[in-house]
Amino acid sequence: MADNNVLVTPKSIAALVLPSLGNRLNVAKNLCRAVDKEFGRPANYKPGDTVQVRKPYRFIGGDGLPFDPEPLVDQLTPITVNSVPHVHFQWDSVTKTMSLREMMRLYVDPVTDALANKINAQAATWAANNALNSVGTPGTKPTGPLTYLTAGDVLVELGLPSQRTEKLTCVVNRAMSSAFVNGTTSFFNPQGLISKQIMSGQMQSSLGYEILLDQTINQHVNGVFGGTPLVNAGSQQADGGNNATQTLITDGWTSGGTSLKLGDKFTIGSAASATVGGVESVHPQTRLTTGRQQVFTVQADISDTTGAISMVIAPAITPYGQYQNVNIAPVDNAIITMIGTSGGTATQGLLFDENAFAFVTVPINEPDPGMGAKVKNYVDDETGLVISHVAYYDGDAGMEKHKFQALVGYGNLYRELACVIQS
């Protein structure tokens, strides 16, 4: 009988891992990949390397014949490759030789699942924490199209061309999909689409978006808060708009009982109303208000001791200039409304344009082959994901050790073109 066993080499393992992994990166593979070239591939990089990406200028324009030059205001966004998702394992010399079928079952599938889940979860959390928009009610799954359609409305109001809505990616988990399918069972048209949803048990691309199911979307737990939070001092504003952050000085929180978390979201109303007026987003070209209050996101965990908090938020409140993103700065004692309840949990689906965020994957700095390790970087043609495979032998333990790892990073580009779908 022929021996069907083959020697499993580092190359054969990585060749099996890459195609399988690429098919599972539902969030990361739909983010912008254009920034990779800024890192100067094929050079190798170490965790912590950063590039500054220059964004296009945005002009206001004027009226009349006289020369009226506008200043060139640079917007730079830093992107750092500092995450190393990995899977490490070892085997003894007896199990080194095995069939490729066994290899797929015992090693490749687990490696693929672990790396895909890690990278996807990182990408989803980054997007949720940096998206400048939010629709839906945390803790309540949308049961019909309106919430999802509203997310698209928001992005168009913030400058997304209407013809690009068909290129938007909508990522939800199974529970969100099931709530949508159940909520649309009474719809009669189009019958074929509704029938397909019921038969498959999954949302179909019926909203003009590419809909993907992924269980690694972000789950956010709000910080603990209470009292009547207010803006403390009016006209707090900063340059940079959607590309920047600022510190917002607030008070009125429950003294000693507030702990805000990275990713908490809120809006700013007027001094008289939490829901009417206040700080509203504007269209990036016309500068006209959208009529929707701008959503702000807490950028770092922070606690209070006196009921006053100075928190770093995104975006910066910029009611003027080339990068204007809101209609007005908040007034003193403007009412702050947190999205969701104190300590509440929300599953956060996403609707985003590919240019909202960057996903960077670059080769890892390789050790010297003279040290006895077999090292190779492999690039998946579909996703561009770079996986480093290091194999080396531990003679004392009689073990061959394998390290699969990637060097990745995430960055903000046009994050106003992303919306969290609260559930």
Q: What is the pLDDT of residue 305?
A: 82
- The pTM (predicted TM-score) of the whole model is 0.85
Q: What is the pLDDT of residue 93?
A: 55
The average confidence (pLDDT) of the chain is 84
Q: What is the pLDDT of residue 315?
A: 97
Assess whether 208 and 239 both reside in one domain: no
- pLDDT digit string, tens, across residues 26-75: 899 889 888 877 775 555 677 788 888 777 666 777 777 788 777 777 77
Q: What is the pLDDT of residue 3?
A: 42
Say if residue 312 is exposed, middle or buried (CB neighbours under 10 Å; 0-12, 13-18, 19+). Answer: middle
Q: How many domains does the chain have?
A: 2
Q: What is the pLDDT of residue 347?
A: 97
Q: What is the 3-state secondary structure (H, E, C) of the chain?
A: CCCCCEECCHHHHHHHHHHHHHCCCCCHHHCECHHHHHHCCCCCECCCEEEEEECCCCCCCCCCCCCCCCCCCCCEEEEEEEECCEEEEEEECCCCEECHHHHHHHHHHHHHHHHHHHHHHHHHHHHHHHCCCEECECCECCCCHHHHHHHHHHHHHCCCCHHHHHHCEEEECHHHHHHHHHHCCCCCCCHHHHHHHHHHCCCCCCCCCEEEECCCCEEEECCECCEEEEECCCCCCCCCHHHCCEEEEEEEECCCCCEECCCCEEEECCCCCCCCCCCEEECCCCCCEEEEECCEEECCCEECCCCCEEEEEECCCCCCCCCCCECCCCCCCCEEEECCCCCCEEEEEEEECCCCEEEEEECECCCCHHHCCEEEEEECCCCCCEEEEEEEEECCCCEEEEEEECEEEEEECCHHHEEEEEC
Assess whether 4 and 96 both reside in one domain: yes
Q: What is the pLDDT of residue 388?
A: 83
**Can you name the residues that pair with 405 across neighbouring β-strands?**
86, 388
User: Domain end: 343, 372, 405, which one?
Assistant: 343
Assess whether 166 and 80 both reside in one domain: yes
In a domain, 65, yes or no: no
In a domain, 130, yes or no: yes
Q: What is the pLDDT of residue 369?
A: 64
Assess whether 264 and 235 both reside in one domain: yes
User: Domain end: 304, 322, 343, which one?
Assistant: 343
Assess whether 182 and 230 both reside in one domain: no
In a domain, 67, yes or no: no
Distance separating alpha carbons of residues 203 and 144, to the nearest angstrom: 11
Assess whether 282 and 170 both reside in one domain: no
Assess whether 188 and 277 both reside in one domain: no
In a domain, 144, yes or no: yes
Assess whether 52 and 196 both reside in one domain: yes
Assess whether 188 and 282 both reside in one domain: no
32 neighbors 359 (Cβ within 8 angstroms): yes
What are the backbone dihedrals phi and psi of residue 293, each rounded to the nearest 5 degrees, phi first?
-65, 135
For the packed helices 10-22 and 109-130, what is the interaxial angle rounded to 10 degrees? Answer: 40
Assess whether 274 and 361 both reside in one domain: no
User: Domain end: 312, 327, 343, which one?
Assistant: 343
In a domain, 66, yes or no: no
pLDDT tens track, the chain, 423 positions: 344 444 566 666 667 677 667 677 889 988 988 887 777 555 567 778 888 877 766 677 777 778 877 777 777 788 888 888 888 877 665 555 555 556 656 666 777 788 888 999 999 999 999 999 999 999 999 998 999 999 999 999 999 988 888 789 999 999 999 998 888 776 655 555 555 554 554 555 668 899 999 999 999 999 999 999 999 998 999 999 999 999 999 999 998 889 999 999 999 999 999 999 999 999 998 999 999 999 999 999 999 889 999 999 999 999 999 899 999 999 999 999 999 999 999 999 999 999 999 998 888 877 666 666 777 788 877 777 888 888 877 777 677 788 888 889 999 999 999 999 999
Q: What are the CA-CA distances from residue 410 to residues 28, 127, 234, 315 (Å)?
A: 9, 9, 34, 17
Range of the domain at 304: 223-343
In a domain, 247, yes or no: yes
Assess whether 112 and 189 both reside in one domain: yes
Q: What is the CATH number of the domain that holds 6?
A: 3.90.1690
In a domain, 398, yes or no: yes
225 neighbors 254 (Cβ within 8 angstroms): yes
Assess whether 234 and 364 both reside in one domain: no
